Structure 1
């Protein structure tokens, strides 16, 4: 198949494009930067330069590529600021609203038969049990300070699933870790844990779901090739509370145990959004993706993945020394 990957040079794109090429697909990689042409060629893609926020550029790019499938992986995530979450995600939110609409319009014009889009597990309503399926309420009760971000995620999902002229699939990824992510060997979150700047807030009862970026890319290839239209949680097998996974991440990185602070102090440090994510977040089940996409994560649990991350950090730290 001919596939257009929008956001082809991000953390996901760098994993996804070579996998699609190895699977025998013709891949066109879209980036807004002329300087990324060579990287796109190295990844195995035909370079396509277009600003996703410019509808005319998107229309030309999609018409030129004439793909069977569009994969929407557009993000523009800056330095993380939990106290001002929506501000940190403002660029990505525009890509998830305006960018999604431009891609869908252009895809419809050329008769794209399948449209796969990125979403995020953390939008599940914080009611009921700790682990959610795709049938549970999503995005109707965002934390204060995260309303715009969750609203943008909902826009992606609603727009893609409403596109009856194509097969729309939405992938609710878990928290990424691995190369080129914020929880990679030189990532922002990794450094925060190493410097003991990532505390356990309150009881640390928020449940997180993770997925290694390579496993997420494998699931995305599966979604390109098979699976009914709909929503899929792309997460590993072990949702876990912050109080469980954060100390083990610190241990794997050779860092001191994380501090523990009361919820009120956590709210002062990380805002309402940060406090909610640490104490109230719900995790996700990957049963549907396993069953209907025929996918299973090579890193079945973050425990294995974090040990691998710790080993990489030690190797790179030794090399830097």
Structure 2
């Protein structure tokens, strides 16, 4: 997200301070147009000093540390990100309050909507109250982030429930983990493939984040494209766009053995999200209105890269 968001904020006229715990990333932040700040988000004193020195009007909380996906051990794969969404959120909020920050924008994720009722959810629908087995810690961390940001009466708190990212430097990008899994046919359609996913191109997500920095009332916003779709619909078309063979199909019982209950739920029971509120209240619309055009673009990038490698 930072690679997309920082240049957009700079072009919009904002002075951006980019916090990283890695000394080696300072050059990249400067290249993107930010003033680098080295601090450990889990150290409240370091966060407090960093925020106080920057004197920001707005804080944008995009802290994650997501490694290779392991659906059988989902919470374990998100251990550090869960700490950043709990301890890191608390540290940022405390430092922001001390610094008089007027607006606080934080990253969330659409996939925690309760798996009951219709397939497409609005921001008012139940969220995170019945997580799948293996996701309790991760969904709990997301709920903690949202609750703390929205309860901060001293600032304007906005929570962005992003759809599944695709595009450059994401796991569904030209060199991404999910892209390679689809190409290798290790990303199957499970059961009826009835899980509804909402996607968002990483550039469109960054545009929505700039909009949330500049406008919109406090609250929750789904940042997704216009077309929630079932796995049975989007996964074969993604494979086709990538020039891969159609995905395999496996029964849910087999998927539970291979990918755990979390994987089975995401492929068969997930609920998508509506972007109507973000379109209206943030005056934002995605350039990639549907994953269909975005996936075609991704396929062209993958083929171009393969040709260059050859």
Equivalent residue runs for 1:1-321 within 5 Å: 12-321=1-310
Q: Following the alignment from structure 2 to structure 1, what is the Cα–Cα distance between the partners of residues 187 and 253?
A: 15
How far apart are 1:111 and its partner, in Å?
0.1
Counterpart of 1:3 in structure 2 is none
How many equivalent residue pairs?
310
Unpaired segments of 5 or more residues in structure 1?
A: 1-11
Report the TM-score when normalising by structure 1.
0.96
Q: Following the alignment from structure 2 to structure 1, what is the Cα–Cα distance between the partners of residues 227 and 239?
A: 18
Q: Following the alignment from structure 1 to structure 2, what is the Cα–Cα distance between the partners of residues 319 and 101?
A: 46
Q: Following the alignment from structure 1 to structure 2, what is the Cα–Cα distance between the partners of residues 296 and 253?
A: 26
How far apart are 1:27 and its partner, in Å?
0.5
Q: Following the alignment from structure 1 to structure 2, what is the Cα–Cα distance between the partners of residues 65 and 316?
A: 40
Q: Following the alignment from structure 2 to structure 1, what is the Cα–Cα distance between the partners of residues 139 and 73?
A: 14
**Consecutive aligned runs of 4 or more in structure 1 exceeding 2 Å deviation:** none
Unpaired segments of 5 or more residues in structure 2?
A: none
How far apart are 1:67 and its partner, in Å?
0.2
Q: Following the alignment from structure 2 to structure 1, what is the Cα–Cα distance between the partners of residues 99 and 280?
A: 31
Q: Following the alignment from structure 2 to structure 1, what is the Cα–Cα distance between the partners of residues 73 and 24?
A: 31
How far apart are 1:320 and its partner, in Å?
1.2
Cα RMSD (Å): 0.4
How far apart are 1:269 and its partner, in Å?
1.1
Q: Following the alignment from structure 2 to structure 1, what is the Cα–Cα distance between the partners of residues 59 and 210?
A: 12
